[in-house]
Chain A
Amino acid sequence: MSSTSLYVDADSFLHRLDPRAKLALLVAMAVPAYTFGRPAFIAIPFVAALVGLWIGQGLRNLRRVWFIIVALFVVGLVVWPGFVERGGPVVVDVGPLYLTERQTLFALGRSLRITSFILGGLVYVSTTSNEEIVRGMRGLGLPYAFCFAVGTALRLFPTFLDAAGTVRQAQEARGLEISSRNPIERARSFIPLLIPVFMTAFRNIETQSMALEARGFDTRSERTFYRDSDFAFRDWLAVGFTVAVSVASIALSTMGVGTF
């Protein structure tokens, strides 16, 4: 597995679940995070996602994406108070900064929601290999050609990522300046980086297509697979859990619990 991947090769309960069951659990995390508005309620899927990361041994991935998570959280706290009516006691009143309790709780809830979504997605990619992602898509009934394209792209992506790094180093060694202060100049300096990478990528398409067809690749005929995907009892449990959590969240929020 390439170092670009966030997948953690382990044998946890989450790793053993069918990729479709893991998608269901992602829904179980997303529905309460979406239906509730108050931070105390959204904190539950947030903590659940963190526990999922711990079970799936994906906490190390937090080191790679912590900046995104913190940035999204802070941006939410800054942006959302401007879109909510003031209400309740004043929490902050410093110069132009005037925040009421309602604004603060609303913004905190929205920030927790977006970070819960990101953490939930991180649990999924930490415990699901590229091959399993494609197998899950196939299991969900997506057409084989589409799944094949996604699988091939996932395999080619690290190669092109490495190529992009190599081209960047090579062009910088030739004197290419990509940190100009002038934004237009800076943007244009990326052309010598973009072209070699994608010309290399597209050069072999004809050959690769012929190689595929020579091996009998045909998207129109029904395919058989060496490894069929079994949906075990534990996977059905995960789906049942998702249904229960989703129904309960929607019912409670409809009654006004956990919402503003």
Chain B
Amino acid sequence: MRELLTMWRDTRMVMLVAVVAAVYAALLIPFKLFTILPGLTSIRPANVLPVFFGIAFGPAAAWGSAIGNLIGDVFGGTFGPGSVGGFVGNFFFGLVGYKLWGNLGPLSSGEEPDFRDQRLRQLIEYVAVAVAAAAACAAIIAWVVDALELVPFSVLGPIILTNNAVSAIVLGPPLFYLAYPRVKEMGLLYPDVLRNEDLPDRANSAGAWAILVVPLVWIGIAVFVLGGAPGSTAQIGLGAVGFLVTAAAAYVAGENFSAVVRDA
């Protein structure tokens, strides 16, 4: 996880954070597919971007997605205490991609996400990554919003999960097919930008699997076991445990995408 801090020493990574944030916010606001819960959440094509950026730009995407969502709140008129949840949730939305790609053991294709070779295996790996990123984001936002007693977790959690996952799964493969080779050609993939000593020195599949499983279990327990108890100690406690375990898993997982790029 140290790359999340050391990346700030690199000017290109800082610029990537700024551009990711600006692009995410700029595409988040005007393009909307369907409104699910008016004022709270809608299916937006831009929700594919944190997953794409996460795999391509690594830690810069985590910070950029968080800042981009905050800018969306500021310009969209929904800035408030709930924005804290949006910031942290979208941070994980961008973080999960590079932690998981190439790091899921038998589920990993071992290929770069360009959807040219082994398309089915890449698709399976991509869907797992997209669902994990969407679930982590949904669980964190719903946890904070529930703790503020604004909207119950059991209402918001599944909605955000669906909202984020649908856009990411439907739009991700064509987006990677068209854009990934160009981003690589520009030399902007994070393994090409970050110095070797700033990259995590390990890859741990168990940690990556925990990132995939823990947020889904967290949402499952919060919705189906705790259900209608918004703002309850149990709901807040479950969230605290879920968040800490997810963060610890992200630390343990390291990353393996740089090895995939190197071997390609």
Contact = CB atoms under 8 A, between A and B. Distances in A.
Nearest to B21: A153
A208 B186 CA distance: 13
Interface string B62-95: 0110011011011111111111000000000000
Nearest to B35: A71
B150 A153 contact: no
Chain B residues touching A, range: 35 or more
A203 B186 contact: yes
B69 to A, nearest CB: 11
B78 to A, nearest CB: 6
Nearest to B22: A156
B186 A206 contact: yes
Interface string A5-20: 1100000000000000
| B interface majority secondary structure | helix
Contacts of A199: 179, 182
B29 interface: yes
Given A83-B228, A121-B83, A153-B68, A110 B12 contact: no
Chain A residues touching B, range: 35 or more
A114 B14 contact: no
Contact of B171 (A68, A83, A110, A188): A188
A149 interface: yes
A75 B38 contact: yes
Contact of B19 (A70, A124, A156, A190): A156
Contacts of A205: 12, 15-16, 19, 186, 188
Interface string A153-194: 110110111011100100000000000000110111011011
Nearest to B25: A157
Given A68-B78, A122-B79, A191-B178, A202 B183 contact: yes
Given A149-B17, A201-B23, 12 more contacts: A68-B76, A71-B39, A118-B80, A120-B80, A133-B74, A148-B14, A153-B19, A161-B26, A164-B26, A195-B175, A201-B19, A206-B12
Interface of A: 4-6, 30, 34, 61, 64-65, 67-72, 74-76, 79-80, 82-83, 110, 113-114, 117-118, 120-122, 124-125, 133, 143, 145-146, 148-150, 152-154, 156-157, 159-161, 163-165, 168, 183-184, 186-188, 190-191, 193-195, 197-199, 201-203, 205-206, 208-209, 212-213, 217, 219-220
5 contacts: A65-B77, A75-B38, A117-B150, A153-B64, A157-B22
